[in-house]
Amino acid sequence: MSDRLLPTGLCWCGCGTETGIGSFFARGHDKIAEAALIRAEYGGTVPRFLAAHGYGPEKSVTDAAVQQGWIRCTVPGCTHTGTETSVRNHESKPHKEK
């Protein structure tokens, strides 16, 4: 990772909205910024975004995320990955047999 980023008091999506102490974004604007970046830099397509960073069918972005702290669902045959909270919530729901 690079240098530590610090919140500035203004939303980092560029909308100009003031943010709370310690926040980079106004509520929901992190997703707006993600979508805007993919549109501005990668023609609006996630495959171009992934390929530009070396990911795709031959190099798994989810495997890379697991190496950085994401976890995998523990249900046999399930390929779901995500944050611990997300995966535990996912695991609490019924799984369909493959």
4: left (phi over 0), alpha (psi -120 to 50) or beta: beta
Give residue 98's pLDDT.
Answer: 59
Closest CA to 81 of 69, 94, 93, 92: 69
Q: What is the pLDDT of residues 79-90, one digit of tens each?
A: 999 999 999 999
User: Tens digit of pLDDT for each residue in 19-62?
Assistant: 999 999 999 999 999 999 999 999 999 999 999 999 999 999 99
pLDDT at res. 1:
57
Asked if the model's pLDDT at residue 2 lies above 90, the reply is no
Residues in the chain: 98
Question: Which amino acid is present at 5?
Answer: L
Assess whether pLDDT exceeds 90 at residue 96.
no
pLDDT of residue 82: 97
